[in-house]
């Protein structure tokens, strides 16, 4: 896919484009920047709304809450009437009143609410333990491939409470960095050390190695039950798969025939099962639909632990991270700011030009 800077260029181009554009995308920032209208395809119907994606999403959520509140009040009123009829229908002195209330009950029209076909996964990471003061310390890490330096002189420490977005102009740099700190590959120089209290869960860029065997989803997930879990029976495992919208006979699906999105949902189930206090995410929105992306994004925002991530999804980076670390061939740029602030900062722009020169 396109990197964030190229996507930004395309956003600006299409925003100024004078003709009609039809867009299908899972990138919420892109939809917000480009779209003036949203066509919502749901329940075999198409409804058109004025505004961008965020306006549609928030207004539709508000509408659903209002309908639910209204319905609740009517249901309470209906129940009061039913209780009255049940209590007094046999009482001759109050039978007339009961009859009138029954007529009122019949006039109550509870608005039919068609539930949306959209299903949002339940992505909740619950740490087994809180992180200590020592989280991750990196000193002078270096990595090159075929003489091409991906990054060098990478030194930093992760502090308690941080959610950090990593980026680089080289698409291989962050993936290699994440693979190094997760003991998948070796660095060419330098070292790193994890704190003793850290329990990691890693979502790699490539997950094919996890799905070579034709196991059922239940058998597949059972492989990753952590040692602190002693009662990992079928209902327990079904719960984690169910949160990622695998239900019923879905758990008998074989892992070697899953779609890209289903594999990522399995990987997220695996991550939740591990009760991590630190998660590492390499392009977490790849292959996911908008509902899963939204749920994953909110799950990371609400996560009380540490997040290290890289993504081409602008909204994910902006809403989750409060610190940016950019890996370059000449060292790092480390700033305590949001992604938007980082990309717009004049001093950062100058520094980036120097680091990649």
CATH code, domain carrying 201: 3.40.50.300
The pLDDT of residue 105 is 41
The pLDDT of residue 4 is 86
What's the Rg (C-alpha) of the chain?
26
The pLDDT of residue 80 is 57
The pLDDT of residue 93 is 45
Question: What is the tally of helices (H) and strands (E) in the chain?
Answer: 12, 11
Question: Is 158 domain-assigned?
Answer: yes
Q: How far is CA 36 from CA 25, 39, 62, in A?
A: 14, 10, 20
- The model carries a pTM of 0.83
Question: Is 328 domain-assigned?
Answer: yes
Of 37-41, 85-89, 216-220, the least confident: 85-89
- Taking residues 305-312, what's their average pLDDT? 97
The pLDDT of residue 90 is 45
Question: Is 235 domain-assigned?
Answer: yes
**What letter does residue 213 receive in the DSSP assignment?**
S
The count of domains in the chain is: 1
- Taking residues 72-100, what's their average pLDDT? 53
Question: Is 188 domain-assigned?
Answer: yes
Task: For 225-271, write each residue's pLDDT tens digit.
Answer: 999 888 889 999 999 999 999 998 999 999 989 999 999 999 999 99
Of 79-93, 187-201, 216-230, 273-287, the least confident: 79-93
Task: For 39-82, write each residue's pLDDT tens digit.
Answer: 888 878 888 777 778 777 777 776 666 667 666 666 665 565 55
Close Cβ partners of 139 (under 8 Å, ≥ 6 residues apart): 155, 190, 191, 192
Question: Is 352 domain-assigned?
Answer: yes
Half-sphere exposure of 193 (CA within 13 A, CB side): 6
Among 268, 161, 162, 129, which Cα is nearest to 210's? 268
Question: Is 5 domain-assigned?
Answer: no
Range of the domain at 331: 136-356
- Taking residues 303-315, what's their average pLDDT? 97
Taking the C-alpha atoms of residue 28 and residue 316, their distance in angstroms, rounded to an integer, is 9
The pLDDT of residue 260 is 95
The pLDDT of residue 113 is 34
The pLDDT of residue 184 is above 50? yes
Taking the C-alpha atoms of residue 167 and residue 137, their distance in angstroms, rounded to an integer, is 18
Question: Is 36 domain-assigned?
Answer: no
When comparing pLDDT for 100 and 282, which is higher? 282
CB atoms within 10 A of CB 134: 15
- In which band, very low, low, confident or very high, does the pLDDT at 181 lie, cut at 50, 70 and 90? very high
Taking the C-alpha atoms of residue 308 and residue 286, their distance in angstroms, rounded to an integer, is 16
The pLDDT of residue 82 is 59
Question: Is 288 domain-assigned?
Answer: yes
Indicate the average pLDDT of the chain. Answer: 87
The pLDDT of residue 293 is above 80? yes
């Amino acid at each position: 896919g396109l990197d964030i800077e190229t996507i930004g260029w395309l956003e600006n181009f299409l925003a100024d484009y004078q003709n009609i554009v039809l867009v299908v995308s899972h990138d919420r920032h892109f939809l917000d920047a480009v779209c003036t209208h949203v066509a919502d395809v749901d329940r075999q119907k198409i409804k058109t709304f004025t505004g961008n994606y965020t306006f549609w999403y928030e207004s539709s959520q508000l509408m659903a809450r209002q309908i639910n509140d209204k319905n609740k009040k009517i249901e309470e009123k209906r129940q009061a009437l039913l209780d009255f009829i049940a209590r007094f229908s046999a009482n001759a002195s109050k039978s007339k009143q009961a009859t009138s209330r029954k007529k009122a009950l019949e006039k109550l029209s509870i608005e039919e609410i068609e539930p949306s076909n959209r299903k949002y996964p339940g992505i909740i990471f619950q740490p087994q333990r809180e992180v200590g003061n020592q989280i991750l310390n990196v000193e002078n890490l270096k990595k090159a491939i075929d003489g091409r330096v991906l990054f060098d002189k990478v030194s930093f420490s992760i502090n308690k409470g941080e959610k950090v977005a990593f980026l680089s102009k080289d698409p291989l740099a962050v993936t290699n960095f994440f693979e190094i700190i997760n003991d998948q590959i070796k660095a060419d120089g330098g070292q790193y050390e994890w704190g003793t209290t850290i329990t990691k869960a890693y979502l790699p860029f490539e997950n094919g190695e996890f799905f070579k065997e034709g196991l059922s989803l239940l058998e597949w997930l059972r492989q990753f039950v952590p040692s602190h879990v002693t009662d990992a029976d079928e209902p327990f495992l079904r719960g984690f798969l169910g949160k990622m919208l695998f239900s019923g006979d879905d758990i008998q699906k074989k892992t070697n025939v899953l779609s890209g999105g289903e594999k990522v949902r399995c990987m997220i189930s695996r991550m939740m099962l591990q009760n991590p206090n630190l998660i590492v995410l390499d392009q977490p929105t790849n292959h996911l639909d908008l509902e899963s992306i939204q749920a994953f994004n909110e799950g990371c925002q609400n996560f009380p632990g540490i997040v290290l991530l890289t993504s081409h999804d602008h909204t994910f980076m902006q809403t989750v991270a409060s610190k940016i670390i950019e890996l370059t061939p000449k060292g790092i740029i480390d700033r305590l700011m949001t992604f938007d602030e980082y990309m717009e900062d004049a001093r950062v722009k100058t520094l980036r030009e120097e680091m990649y020169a």
